[in-house]
Amino acid sequence: MSKNDPCEYEIEGKRLECTHCGHAEFHEGKAMLNTAGMTLLGLDWANQTAVTLMCDHCGLIHWFAKPPKAKME
């Protein structure tokens, strides 16, 4: 499995499903959580990040503060 292949994820032992279509395979990504103060000071790199999971079926993006675990087959 390559990094770009969709896979299933879980949080606290529960399988994740898309809240829109119910599909269970996602593409993982990261997003910066920018704040105006840090941007003003030129410190965008110091902002926190969130894990994003994009549904492989419908494209809805789900955001997570704690990273979910990828289920390895």
**Secondary structure E strands in the chain:** 9-11, 14-15, 26-32, 49-55, 61-64, 69-70
Domains of the chain: total: 1
Does 3 reside within a domain? no
Does 52 reside within a domain? yes
pLDDT tens-digit map of 8-42: 999 999 999 999 999 999 999 998 776 777 666 77
Count other C-beta atoms under 10 Å from residue 36's C-beta: 7
pTM for the structure as a whole? 0.77
Does 18 reside within a domain? no
Does 31 reside within a domain? yes
Does 13 reside within a domain? no
Contacts of 56 (CB under 8 A, 6+ apart): 6, 23, 25, 26, 27
Cross-strand partners of 14: 11
Residue range of the domain that includes 44: 24-68
